[in-house]
């Protein structure tokens, strides 16, 4: 089966592989469709999807869209929907993306990879880029918590002007001194002028809040694409992409690894509510997480 519908108290999702199916185009796997009882319009651009496995880095010039063009299989394991991609033809990456309902408007996810040929990653990093194409939001920006503006911990609105230019928002604890190949995409190579302090991004459409949060910041880059979702129907604008890039240093040592996160799509109830959601996620992981103090950074 190419897709499976998941229901929570507030959400209806269709999770699918990267085969074409009706209006869904081939090459896009992940969350084909996301809707809420509070907004029945599709959140992701219908022919595409959310959390699509888009690039393997370093990209191969002869196979730049390797993960999109390689088949993905969907299966159900208990309460999880699993997208499994066998070893890809150029980088020999095997991967698993798992989705599990975890609340009324919450989906927990895990991405796990296995490198069958670590030597294929000649630059010393193994990177995995995921794209979410947002359908006609009034506000194309994302919001992150950063200390880089006014030397203060605050929410920063960030929206790129050109696709792939100053797109990559890295963690403040990551020097991001990576060596990329000669045909990489600026979505993860072109650094933004800000860094994030807490590993989450917030986006808004109408009355809704879309929040993508990560269990840990290590190896996580948040990325903004100003027009990656293609033109709107009347071609007066383009749909943005709210993306992320996961990477591991030293593939020979870290030939296997994983990242965990949570997707929240709910009626917006203020930024404090978003932080409470992140705190609840950390508690679900068995951790205590204190909300950051806003304001100027103390010397």
Residue 62's pLDDT band, with cuts at 50, 70 and 90, is confident
| Average confidence (pLDDT) over 197-220 | 98
Instruction: State the pLDDT at residue 299.
Output: 67
Q: What percent of the chain has pLDDT over 70?
A: 100
Average pLDDT over residues 147-161: 97
Q: Tell me what the mean pLDDT of segment 44-70 comes to.
A: 93
pLDDT digits (tens, 9 = 90+) for 98-153: 999 999 999 999 999 999 999 999 899 999 999 999 999 999 999 999 999 999 99
DSSP per-residue codes, the chain: --EEEEE-SSEEEEEE-SS-BTTBPTT--EEEEEEETTB-S-SB-TTS-BSEEEEEESPBTTBTTHHHHS--EEEEETTEEEEEE---TTT-EEEEEEEEEEETTEEEEEEEEEES-GGG-TTSEEEEEEE-BB---S---EEEEEEEETTEEEEEEE--SSTTSS-EEEETT--------TT--HHHHSEEEEEESSSEEEEEETTEEEEEEES--TTEEEEEESSTT-B-TTSSSB--EEEEEEEEE-TTT-SEEEEEEEEEEEE---HHHHHHHHHHHHHHTT---PPPPPEEPP-
pTM score, two decimals?
Answer: 0.97
**Domain coordinates of the chain in residue numbers?**
55-296
CATH 3.40.50 fits 55-296, yes or no: no
Name the average pLDDT for the chain.
Answer: 96
1 pLDDT band (50/70/90 cuts)?
A: confident
Which pLDDT tens digit goes with each residue over 223-274?
999 999 999 999 999 999 999 999 999 999 999 999 999 999 999 999 999 9
Residue 15: is its pLDDT beyond 80? yes
């Amino acid at each position: 089966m190419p897709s499976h519908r998941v229901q929570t108290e507030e959400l209806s999702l269709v999770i699918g592989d990267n085969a074409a199916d009706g209006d869904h185009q081939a090459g896009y796997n992940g969350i084909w469709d996301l809707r809420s009882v509070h907004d029945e319009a599709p959140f992701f651009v219908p022919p595409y999807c959310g959390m699509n496995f888009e690039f393997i880095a370093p990209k191969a010039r002869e196979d730049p869209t390797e993960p999109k063009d390689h088949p993905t299989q969907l299966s159900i394991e208990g309460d999880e929907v699993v997208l499994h991609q066998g070893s890809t033809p150029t980088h020999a990456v095997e991967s698993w993306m798992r989705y599990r309902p975890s609340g009324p408007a919450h989906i927990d996810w895990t991405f796990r990879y296995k490198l069958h040929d670590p030597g294929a990653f000649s630059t010393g990093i193994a990177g995995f880029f995921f794209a979410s194409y947002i359908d006609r939001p009034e506000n194309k920006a994302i919001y992150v918590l950063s200390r880089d503006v006014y030397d203060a911990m605050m929410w920063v609105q960030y929206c790129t002007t050109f696709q792939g230019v100053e797109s990559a928002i890295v963690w403040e604890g990551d020097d991001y001194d990576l060596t990329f190949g000669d045909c990489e995409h600026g979505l993860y190579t072109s650094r933004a002028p800000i860094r994030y302090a807490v590993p989450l991004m917030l986006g808004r459409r109408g009355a809704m809040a879309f929040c993508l949060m990560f269990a840990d910041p290590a190896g996580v880059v948040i990325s903004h694409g100003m027009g990656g979702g293609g033109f709107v129907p009347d071609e007066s604008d383009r749909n943005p992409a709210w993306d992320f890039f996961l990477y591991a240093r030293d593939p020979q040592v870290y030939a296997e690894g994983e990242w965990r996160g949570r997707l929240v799509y709910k009626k917006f109830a203020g930024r404090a509510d978003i932080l409470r959601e992140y705190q609840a996620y950390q508690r679900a992981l068995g951790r205590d997480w204190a909300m950051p103090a806003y304001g100027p950074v103390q010397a």
